[in-house]
Amino acid sequence: MSRQPKLLVTQKKINEAVAKLAAEIRRDYRGKQPLLIGILKGSFVFMADLIRELRLPVEVDFVKLSSYGSGTRTSGKVKVVQGLKSPIKGRDVLIVEDIVDTGLTVSFLMNYLQKKKPASLKLCALTDKTSRHRVPVTIDYLGFTVPDKFVVGYGIDWNEKFRHLRDICIID
């Protein structure tokens, strides 16, 4: 396996996508105070940029889920490793995710959060590997579709490595 990251999406293109997503979210949540729930750890860089572009009085929380071991493919079983600190009943909740692959993680989280009766529940994902979905997923706000390759950078890791890269890159 070559671990030399190859450029996929530049920092500039990421910034433009984040600004576009923020504009759509701002328009849709005008007059509301949404709770953004990031999925740890991969979403933290995206979340940090997104909330500053939003210019809305948002609140932020994080959940930690696991489905991966140290490999590059999902185990298929999703668990909550660290739950929410905020009650979400009656809140406008927006999930913030770095990458949707099989869709198992976000679909599990959608079901889990829906049971807690939020006023609304939507999904914002920076990247999506559409060709790999194994369950139906609706991404309300999407940055980029990416190929069926392992991507890293901009918070997204491979075995905790490469999160610091400013661009989104591919490793084979």
Query: What x-and-dash track marks residues 44-83 binding ligand IMP by CB under 6 A?
Result: -----------------------xx-----x---------
User: How many residues does the structure list for the chain?
Assistant: 172
Is 42 an interacting residue with respect to Mg ion (CB under 5 A)?
A: yes
Contacts of 134 (CB under 8 A, 6+ apart): 102, 103, 104
Is 128 an interacting residue with respect to ligand IMP (CB under 6 A)?
A: no
Residue 124 or 151 having the CB closest to ligand IMP? 151
Q: Is 101 a catalytic residue?
A: yes
Residue 103 or 118 having the CB closest to ligand IMP? 103
Catalytic residue among 92, 98, 101, 128: 101
User: How far is Cα 72 from Cα 107, in angstroms, rounded to an integer?
Assistant: 19
Angle between helices 11-28 and 44-54 (to 10 degrees): 60
User: How far is Cα 64 from Cα 87, in angstroms, rounded to an integer?
Assistant: 16
| DSSP H helices in 9-43 | 11-28
Is 121 an interacting residue with respect to ligand IMP (CB under 6 A)?
A: no
User: How far is Cα 164 from Cα 39, in angstroms, rounded to an integer?
Assistant: 17
Residue 55 or 79 having the CB closest to ligand IMP? 79
* Contact positions vs Mg ion (CB under 5 A): 39, 42
* Contact positions vs ligand IMP (CB under 6 A): 39, 42, 67-68, 74, 97-105, 150-152, 156
